[in-house]
Amino acid sequence: MESMNIISGRMLKRRVSRVLMHGLILMFLVYLLFPLIWMISTSFKPTPEIYSGIPTLIPEVFTIEHYLTVLEEERLLVSILNSLYVGIVTAIIVVLISLPAAYALTRYRTSVNKLVMGWILTSQIFPAILIMIPLFIILRSLHLTDSLSGLVLVYVVWDIPFVLWMLQGYVKEIPVELEEAAAIDGATQGQIIFKIIMPLLLPAVGAAVLFAFISAWNEFFFALVLLKSPDLTTLPVELARYTGIEGQARTGPLAAASFIATIPSIVLFAILRKWFSSGALQGAVKG
Amino acid sequence: MANSVTLTRTPRNRNLDQLQLLLPIMVPVLLLSFIPLIRGIYIGFTDYELGGQINFSGLDNYRIMMQDRFFWRSMGVGFLWTAIVTALQIGLGMILALLLNQGLRWTSLYSVLMLVPWAMPPIVRGLMWRQIYSPDTGALNLILTQMGIIDNPINWLASFEWALPAIIVAGVWGEVPKAALFFLAGLKTIPGSLYEAAELDGASAFRKFRHITLPMMKPIMAAVVSLSFMWNFNAFGLIWILTQGGPGGLTRLPMLAAYEEAFRYGYVGYAAAIGNVMVIIISVFLFFYLKVQLKERTG
């Protein structure tokens, strides 16, 4: 054994530190995932087991009764569809109008830039309470309260600062030479933006779409204030209703509905997983 | 930075071109963000009550605020909450990002899993943590009693001792992924050659972190700290669902105070005034923080 040299000692050390690092990451993941796992587990437990006083991570008796209860309620289904609609439309509009703007901000250097970038930063400072009431008054005069289009409009405006800031950082990385070549070939500005810049920025555009969708899917208070008709509510508003009078006694159905509300986000993250980890962007820029 | 795509156009055209591209964002932002905001700030200087007339009242709201001990208390809680949550999320987010940047196996799986809390609707985050903390069916009580650490279940969210720590744990939980994601993106931009050079000089992992990673990450750190401070100080949804500001106003953050003034008591003018004070506090913090940051970078 003594003949084992320093090199294998170092390899051992490296292996130990690698195991330690995996261990640390797993501790983080337990913290970050446990509440979700507990919620999923609760959603599949029959009501007596929920109240049994014994913490079981895997339900002893497996039931989908809570999901059936939830799906029998038409309002919840409608609210899921409303949320999907609002999220998708918001995401598409935000990216379609922010990409040209991001391009304009990086490629043209005029006095407008400081104004726009200044606004992006300052807009983050203001609490929603300052905007809520005047916004309601303005939207009412446009007949856009209690309408999904009105809500989409609000979310688009709400998401622009972050998406714009994110995209312009990426546009900056793209060498101008690529566009020059296209411009010489007679490409219009729109073609340059959507045919050259956008494909190169696919990971960033994907991340922006994801961000816009999720922030619309998740948003609660504007929806609560702006939407009044029961058939127009979004999922978060509908969920909040569960916590009201009936909430306390309905732990199971609430867990089931909460899990349903989380599924689209998880699916989207899984789809975009490659984009997050891929070096596609760096390759395109450096190569 | 002159660039030759635009050289082919005259300056006047360039301004027009740019404006054309910016118009689709400028109109909605002006109409639904800028104008409402200006009006909101103005309402903070009126005695507007829900359904009533809007009359300018100068600094009256702010005089009332000086005497309002509920306001001062919520500011105190707000600072405590913001400082602790921001510090923890920066620290933990950085550690997590560093771990995920080691080129370990399963890193991309880890990165996706880590984002789960961020992907969840805030309302679900609140509902989930309510289930964890619930006195009769909550995981925390069940596990702690099973392990024999506590004898009787604790009503965490209604307890004067535990309510604030409980919402902080839940708050940090939702923010760590965001911070880690930003930091990870930043770490990826540091050229590997810097580390290789340091390794040749025999630098330890800590020295590499201290002298390469940290300085290179400074701009991103500054951005994340600034944004987190704003977001945390303006936090609302999670706490509203968990405690509604209770017990006894112990977790009543400034936004909850403003919301209650406006929508429970109808004092819209006063609520907007609280909003204005929050804006001033955040601006002052950012001014000094960024000043220090910029000084260090140029010095």
Examine the domain organization and report whether A45 and A72 are in the same domain: no
pLDDT in tens, B34-50: 899 999 999 999 998 88
Tokens of B245: 């500001």
Contacts of B18 in chain A (CB under 8 A): 104, 108, 110, 112
Examine the domain organization and report whether A45 and A69 are in the same domain: no
Examine the domain organization and report whether A161 and A24 are in the same domain: no
Examine the domain organization and report whether A36 and A174 are in the same domain: no
Per residue, what are the HEC states of A3-21? CCCHHHHHHHHHHHHHHHH
B35 vs A138, A220, A266: nearest CB: A138
Examine the domain organization and report whether A139 and A244 are in the same domain: yes
pLDDT at residue number A279: 45
Bridge partners, B46 (sequence order):
B56
CA distance B181 to A21: 18
Examine the domain organization and report whether A25 and A110 are in the same domain: no
**How many distinct structural domains can be found in chain A?**
2
B124 vs A28, A125, A258: nearest CB: A258
pLDDT in tens, A251-285: 888 889 888 888 877 777 766 666 555 544 343 33
Q: What is the band of B170 on the pLDDT scale with cuts at 50, 70, 90?
A: very high
pLDDT at residue number A24: 94
Is residue A58 situated within a structural domain?
Answer: no
Examine the domain organization and report whether A146 and A35 are in the same domain: no
Contacts of B132 in chain A (CB under 8 A): 34-35, 38
Q: CA dist B294 to A108, A125, B53, B219, B297, Å?
A: 26, 20, 46, 9, 5
Do the Cβ atoms of B128 and A189 come within 8 Å? no
Examine the domain organization and report whether A10 and A117 are in the same domain: no
pLDDT at residue number A285: 35
pLDDT in tens, B124-158: 888 899 889 988 888 898 889 888 888 888 889 98
pLDDT in tens, B218-252: 888 888 898 899 889 988 888 988 888 888 889 99
Examine the domain organization and report whether A46 and A74 are in the same domain: no
Q: CA dist B281 to A200, B78, B83, B121, B278, Å?
A: 41, 11, 13, 28, 5
Is residue A19 situated within a structural domain?
Answer: yes
Domains of chain B: 44-298 (1.10.3720.10)
User: What is the domain-level CATH number for residue A225?
Assistant: 1.10.3720.10
Domain limits for position A172 = 65-286
pLDDT at residue number A281: 38
Instruction: Note whether ipTM > 0.85 here.
Output: no
pLDDT in tens, A180-227: 888 888 888 888 888 888 888 887 888 888 888 888 988 888 898 888
Lowest mean pLDDT among A162-176, B11-25, B205-219, B261-275: B11-25
Q: Rounded to a whole number, what is the distance in Å from the CA of A277 to chain B's nearest CA?
A: 6
Mean pLDDT for B189-210 is 83
Does residue A237 register a pLDDT over 90? Answer: no
> Exposed, middle or buried by CB within 10 Å (0-12, 13-18, 19+), for B138?
buried
> Exposed, middle or buried by CB within 10 Å (0-12, 13-18, 19+), for B272?
buried
Is residue A60 situated within a structural domain?
Answer: no
Does residue B60 register a pLDDT over 60? Answer: yes
Is residue A102 situated within a structural domain?
Answer: yes
Examine the domain organization and report whether A205 and A268 are in the same domain: yes
Q: CA dist A238 to A219, A234, A265, B17, B220, Å?
A: 12, 6, 17, 44, 37
Examine the domain organization and report whether A159 and A247 are in the same domain: yes
Is residue A163 situated within a structural domain?
Answer: yes
Examine the domain organization and report whether A72 and A30 are in the same domain: no
